Structure 1
Amino acid sequence: MSESKSPEEFYAKLKKQLQDTAMWPSEYLYKFIVPTKGDKTNLVEEIFNNMGAVIEKKQSKKGKYTSVSINVRMKNPDHVIEKYKEVADKVEGVLSL
């Protein structure tokens, strides 16, 4: 996310891009970088639990961070953005890509 934009501006732009580039419902790929320390990767997984998500995790070379890729069918751009916000609220130190 750009430093010069507020989260509201970022999400508004993302919503427009999602509306313009996909037919909904659609598969969506989330990518997060999470500190490996603690239970943070499990928190991310729990947010997408019971949604039929395919989740892949890969630790960084030094093991300090874990990338979490989540492929899941979403109803519409609003639901995509809701999940980004939920992850940001519940998982400290997460980076959304």
Structure 2
Amino acid sequence: MGGLPQQSWWDRFQELLDDQNEWPAEYLFKFIAPSSEREALRAVFGHYPVTIRESRKGNYISLTARMEVQSSDEIIAIYKAAARVRGVIAL
């Protein structure tokens, strides 16, 4: 994600989430990060199960997590926490 977007971006994103979902809802998160950041990205999801796959050369990982969330606030909190992981890209 290359750092945190401005607050106006998060506000628009939250509006879209609230318009398109009824809470609670299941939400799919997907991220790519350098392999060296595997544990940092995994830690964003706490006890929730995630699927991690390595790239062909092993330089990157992809992480997928499907979670039931209670509100758009939870989704945004996950994205903001993941944005602190060096080199992470949200898909």
Q: TM-score interval w.r.t. the shorter chain?
A: 0.7 to 0.9
Deviation digits for residues 23-58 of structure 1 (CA, Å, limit 9, x no counterpart): 11111111111101x2x11222222113xx331111
Q: Unmatched 5+ residue regions in structure 2? A: none
In the alignment, what sits opposite 2:24? Answer: 25
Q: What is the number of equivalent residue pairs in this alignment?
A: 88
In the alignment, what sits opposite 1:54? Answer: 49
In the alignment, what sits opposite 2:90? Answer: 96
In the alignment, what sits opposite 2:70? Answer: 75
Q: Unmatched 5+ residue regions in structure 1? A: none
Cα distance, 1:95 vs. partner? 0.8
Cα distance, 1:17 vs. partner? 1.1
How large is the Cα RMSD of the aligned pairs? 1.5
Identity over aligned residues, as a percent? 31
TM-score normalised by length of structure 2 = 0.84
Find the residue that maps to 2:50 and give its secondary structure.
strand
Deviation digits for residues 37-96 of structure 1 (CA, Å, limit 9, x no counterpart): x2x11222222113xx3311111222211110111111100111011111112x111111
Cα distance, 1:8 vs. partner? 1.7
Cα distance, 1:10 vs. partner? 2.2
- Displaced runs of 4+ in structure 1, greater than 3 A? none
